[in-house]
Amino acid sequence: MKNVRTYGTAPFQVAVIHGGPGAPGEMAPVARELSLLCGVLEPLQTKTTAAEQVEELAAVLKEHGDLPIILIGHSWGAMLSYIFTARHPSFVKKLILVSSGPFEAHYASGIMETRLSRLTREERARFEKLSKALDDPTNSDRNAAFAQLGVLSSKADAYDALPHENDVIEVDAALFESVWRDAAQMRSSGELLKLGRKIHCPVVAIHGDYDPHPAEGISAPLSTVVSDFRFMLLKQCGHYPWYERYAKEPFYALLKQELAWS
């Protein structure tokens, strides 16, 4: 898989960083919308450790980006962008975290419970079956289970999603497990949060009030370690603001405002 796509024309002043890990392509709608204003890069993660993904992103931005660049990361991509900015501060002019995962482990404990509570009994049973299939090392089709779990999770994560196409190019269960293992260890050890002290560019977090990832898991920790930090909460909004009926327009308005200020 090619590890970058471009939108609009150079110079590429913005890069959108997808989540998952292992769900490349999900931020294509955001890249298309923002390319009406400027050139946008969409790096696609192919490496299987968090450290390798940081260096892969550095190589892509160095080759294609107009540095320093504005990074817009979603979910895991927000956390990756945060790690990247701490380790390569000269590359980043502004960091925008969209629907990030929490930065301290104790805030993550209720995420799955919240998700499951939003599904029907039949959907919960299917979720459990797919989870077992994903965890089975003898299963030769774990990517299919991972993709179907993603569909159920997206349903639970949405407040009121508009009809939309699935822009994910392909899913990679092994990549997800490998990278998330690294990320979870960094978070539980406290290393993840401490990296915020190395970030000196403006940091903006945008989060939905219906996102099962608790907003306070981003706002409270980062406000203690990042010197220039702002938090914005979108109402009637789940984990994917650009698909939300009530939050899509306010979300894009916020993003475009942040780009204009940079």
pLDDT in tens, 12-27: 999 999 998 878 999 9
In 3D, which of 108, 103, 71, 62 has the Cα closest to residue 190?
Answer: 103
- Give first-to-last CA distance, the chain, whole Å: 32
Q: At what angle do helices 173-189 and 50-64 cross, to 10 degrees?
A: 100
Query: With contact defined as beta carbons under 8 Å apart, do 204 and 94 qualify?
Result: yes
Query: With contact defined as beta carbons under 8 Å apart, do 157 and 114 qualify?
Result: no
Residue 262 has pLDDT above 70, yes or no: no
Q: What angle do CA 227, 233, 234 make, to 5 degrees?
A: 145
C-alpha gyration radius of the chain: 17
Q: How far is residue 100's CA from residue 223's CA, in Å, rounded to a whole number?
A: 14
Among the listed ranges 7-11, 110-114, 175-179, which one has the minimum average pLDDT value? Answer: 175-179
pLDDT digits (tens, 9 = 90+) for 142-168: 899 988 999 999 999 999 999 998 888
Single pTM value for the model: 0.95
Query: With contact defined as beta carbons under 8 Å apart, do 83 and 104 qualify?
Result: no
Strand residues in the chain grouped as ranges (E): 4-7, 12-17, 39-43, 65-74, 92-98, 203-208, 229-234
Two tokens, residue 47: 């490496």
The pLDDT of residue 138: 85
Two tokens, residue 59: 């190589």
In the chain, where are the structural domains located? 4-108+168-261, 111-152
CATH superfamily of 4-108+168-261: Alpha/Beta hydrolase fold, catalytic domain (3.40.50.1820)
Q: Is the peptide bond before 43 cis (omega within 30 degrees of 0)?
A: no
Query: With contact defined as beta carbons under 8 Å apart, do 236 and 244 qualify?
Result: yes
